[in-house]
Amino acid sequence: MNTSQDTIYAQACENISDFQFDEKVAGVFNDMIRRSVPGYGQIIKTLGDLADKYVTPDSRVYDLGCSLGAATLSIRRNIGSRNCTIVAVDNSESMIGRCQENLGAYVSDTPVDLICGDIRDINIENASMVVLNFTMQFLAPKDRESLLNNIYQGLKPGGILVLSEKLNFEDDSVQSLLDDLHLDFKRSNGYSELEISQKRSSLEHVMKPDTLHQHEVRLKEQGFKHFNVWFQCFNFASMVAIK
Ligand SMILES: Nc1ncnc2c1ncn2[C@@H]1O[C@H](C[S@+](CC[C@H]([NH3+])C(=O)[O-])CC(=O)[O-])[C@@H](O)[C@H]1O
Ligand SMILES: O=C(O)C(=O)Cc1ccccc1
């Protein structure tokens, strides 16, 4: 996978436009997400382990907001020959083009249906595993419930949703502590104060994190029987919900 360095916010800019998954971001995304999201590598690896445990023969796996295909690749590597199809969806053409190349670099028995489209328009069917790895936070909050309902309806009994998200916290002291630890993580990965603050502005209207409580309540309302956080580092968490 491409590892060009993310310098998108390195130069001072007068008008910071809203963050978009455009050609520029897609070209550096692998580096950007690894230097910005603590635990990303561990989460990608564990998605493969979870797939080995939950993906049943003749079912489908959905990777919603697949970006460059890291989650799909990890899952595909771990499920061997189960007569499954992975449906990988992203609405950024730049991401999908690169994702296609990344998937093509490995041979596998598991076909991937790569769709350039909106995850709100995808019908989920016969799914044993659905992955939303840091994608739902970019959807308008009003659209989150119906997306999760669509996922719940399309999951087989015993099927798993893995939902990774940046979190907000009700307690202001906890919010600023975990925010600060995340900022230190970005600094230690070589981002300057300018890069950090310009990216923060660009994400302000685009990425709307929920609290853990909001996630739990919404998932339980859909009918998910089991819920927990399986990973958290600072203000980034990955949750599992099982039907
Ligand atoms: N409505 C939408 N429909 C389709 N795609 C969307 C939509 N909104 C956003 N996206 C896509 O969701 C992805 C979010 S990145 C996911 C990382 C990946 N899961 C990974 O495991 O590497 C997370 C991040 O950058 O923090 C982008 O590729 C968007 O184009
Ligand atoms: O960079 C950040 O501050 C984030 O919150 C995570 C992120 C990672 C990659 C793209 C957009 C947001």
37 lines ligand 2 (CB under 6 A): yes
Are 30 and 2 within 8 A, CB to CB? Answer: yes
Q: What is the pLDDT of residues 169-186, one digit of tens each?
A: 999 999 999 999 999 999
Residue 99: nearest ligand to its CA?
Answer: 1
* HSE value, Cβ hemisphere, 13 Å, CA-based, for 226: 10
Q: What is the pLDDT of residues 58-91, one digit of tens each?
A: 999 999 999 999 999 999 999 999 999 999 999 9
Instruction: Determine the Cα–Cα distance for residues 170 and 102; give it in Å rounded to an integer.
Output: 39
Instruction: Look at residue 188 in the predicted model and tell me its pLDDT.
Output: 98
Residue with token string 């409580």? 213
User: Residue 131 in 3-state DSSP?
Assistant: strand
Using the mean position of ligand 1's atoms as its centre, give its distance from the Cα of residue 116 in Å.
11
Answer yes or no: is 133 a known binding residue: yes
164 lines ligand 1 (CB under 6 A): no
Domain residue ranges in the chain: 40-150+209-242
Using the mean position of ligand 1's atoms as its centre, give its distance from the Cα of residue 144 in Å.
14
Q: Does domain 40-150+209-242 have CATH number 3.40.50.150?
A: yes
* Closest among 194, 169, 191 to 179, alpha carbons compared: 169
